[in-house]
Amino acid sequence: MRPIPLTPDMERVARRVIWFEPPAQAIADPIRFMAYAAAHAQHEDMKVIRRYVSDEEFREALDHAPPGIIDPRSWAYWNSKLGRFPAPPLPKRQLW
């Protein structure tokens, strides 16, 4: 997945989506950022994010999302919006 640029509008979105990290750190890992966005971004936030993230990249982010970030409802919604119905299983934590 391509890096997401830290533009002023993305900085505002990153502050809301991953409120516990500085925006530059939040978007440094675009796959992790998109997982948090899928779970916490508002409609207006996603309109900004989707200027920089294609459907293909969003699918990639879902395919590699860290476990425990996206709730089942958001998982089903975003997979459906990206043409994947039924949704694949949610990412699971691996215990050794």
For 69, the token pair is 């970030």
Residue 96: its pLDDT value, please? 75
Residue 44: its pLDDT value, please? 97
Region of 65 (left: φ > 0; alpha: ψ -120 to 50; beta: rest) is: beta
Q: Report the C-alpha gap between 75 and 83 in whole angstroms.
A: 12
pTM metric for this prediction: 0.93
Residue 38: its pLDDT value, please? 98
**10-residue mean pLDDT series, the chain (96 residues):** 97 97 98 98 98 97 97 97 94 84
What residue segments make up the domains of the chain, in order of their start? Answer: 8-81
20-52 in b/e form (b: 16+ CB < 10 A) is eeebeebbebbebbbbbbbbbbeeebbebbeeb
Task: State the amino acid at position 42 in one-letter form.
Answer: Q
Residue 95: its pLDDT value, please? 80
Neighbouring C-alpha atoms within 13 Å toward the C-beta of 73: 2
